[in-house]
Structure 1
Amino acid sequence: MPTRRRLLAAAPLLAFPALAPRLARAGQAADRPIRYVVPYPPGATNDNTARLMSRALGERLGRSVIVENRAGAAGVLGARLVAQAAPDGETLLNVSGAIFVVAPHLNQAGFDPLRDFAPVAFTGNAYSVVAVNPAVPAHDVAGLLALARRSPGSLNYGSSGIGSSGHLRGALLAEQAGAEMVHVPFPGSAAAVNSVLSGDTQLIVDPAAMPLIRDGRLRGLAVVGPERWAALPDLPTLDEQGIGRDWPDGGWFAVFAPAGTPRDTVARLNAAYNEALAEPAIAERLRGLGLRPTPLPPGAVADRLAADFAATGAALRRLRLTA
């Protein structure tokens, strides 16, 4: 026979039997880590950003947030994994804008960025740089474009993969030159930058080149963005050189969850993320990674994605760029 004390302890659950499984599930959910999927290999900007923000997010949510690298197909494989995950707020995707605004126009990505994801938070716009191997006889963008015109097909540009922002921006530079440049995709930014360093390719448009420019191992030609990058204060922007003002913008980082994630869950994640972005030490670290921290509500993230998706699609059709 159960004791009176045991019966009294069980009474609330006996009176509301449907509550017991829900309480058990809630306890289990709180114990499980949130998966924070990085769709690129370790070491690049996407990965470094996710590792910084996962710690900040976990501290504010009181839960473990574990970074999981799922690289492949220029970020498409990791994005597909999250699109197919349960919409419970326990699987997040650290998005580099090109995964959503470039890759789906070029490949059978297996997801629709506008339909299959719930915007959670915006990390910020990202700087990038045009860099060349020091053996390339060009010291500014005008010189690079002139070289491309003199020797069509002689310049190979590396990128972090087909459908990456570096792929699109290299093609836009070739369009500006009116000459062919050969695209060479790599499985991530680190490998692409190393190819320029070794001379296997001559050119890259990627923020991962920044440390090598500062070290003098690569030559920087321009910053991609509306303003100079504090890490490279003497390097002029493309805009200053009269280039890139009409380029579509996929140079940003954001966080998305699977479509159907409850709004209150998204709102809670957004509040925690934006609180972290507002912390000066975190904002400074992000600026060091080449981002301009920009807290936004989920609706504004959705609007940004839709605008950039449309603009990029139009540019790709004009360029006749294919995978």
Structure 2
Amino acid sequence: MSTVENHEAIASQSALRISEASAGDYFALLKPRVMSLVVFTAFSGLFLAPGHINPLIAVIAILCIAVGAGASGALNMWYDADIDAVMERTATRPIPAGKVIPGEALGFGLVLSAFAVTILGLAVNWLAAGLLAFTIFFYAVVYTMWLKRSTPQNIVIGGAAGAFPPMIGWACVTGGVSIDSILLFAIIFLWTPAHFWALALFKMKDYGDAGVPMLPNVAGVPTTKTQIVLYAVLTAAVGIAPVFTGLASAYYGAVALCLGAALVWYSIATYRMAEDDTRMIAAKKMFGYSILYLFLIFSALMADHLVAMFIAGGHA
């Protein structure tokens, strides 16, 4: 059955009943775990940006970015309801579980998108709002509707959607884009493939059943493991780059070097993993550490910036 036919079947079945969704079901549509990462990296960009922003405006900005991220999640779940239903890790999501009607999820996502972009533009600035609108479009349309089902490079290109939040946060303060905000974007953009391909290694059956052309299913496990090492090295290198643009100090550089070395080590352990290892323990550890890496690298940037502000204040 084609994607269009799958969506039509789901829609026709849903049209015959009334939604029994709870507030918790709608909250689940927002992909709260993904949203929390978006909020964290967006706040990092806002915090690291030069200049001043009214605290109330900053709260509004972060709220709008969070709502925009949630809207993207709802639109993604609406369109992917057919493949979510056949994947073990997504089968309990609100739409395939029959708790939310697809049309309601679509409307929910569109309304939240319009709200988030409009309020961000009116309360903060229209460059930040434009970047948020583009991020929602990129994730919901370019990645979800096109790349995800058509190319094994879906995560590489689609990763841009998850990399925009710190740039949006930066734009909220400065009204512009700089080499430093692009660097924050690049860290997440290059981190995404190794992170998701590690997941794809131990979820190959899920993606195969759903017909999603993830790299391990298309190019094979050896190629995927090589690509994980490559992107881990690139991520580690770019993670140190803020030292050379003046965004961070050498102390941050030392922390970033250690964090990046650990990321590369986990990627090499994954590379050395036996192809017939059904437990995929090394890949699971790589996936878990990659999440920790992103949290720690942005935390280190903010801690370094906070110390620099304290020292500057002491000398003022």
TM-score range, shorter chain: under 0.3
Return the structure number with greater helix share.
2
Larger radius of gyration: 1
Q: Using structure 1 for the length normalisation, give the TM-score.
A: 0.27
Return the structure number with greater strand share.
1
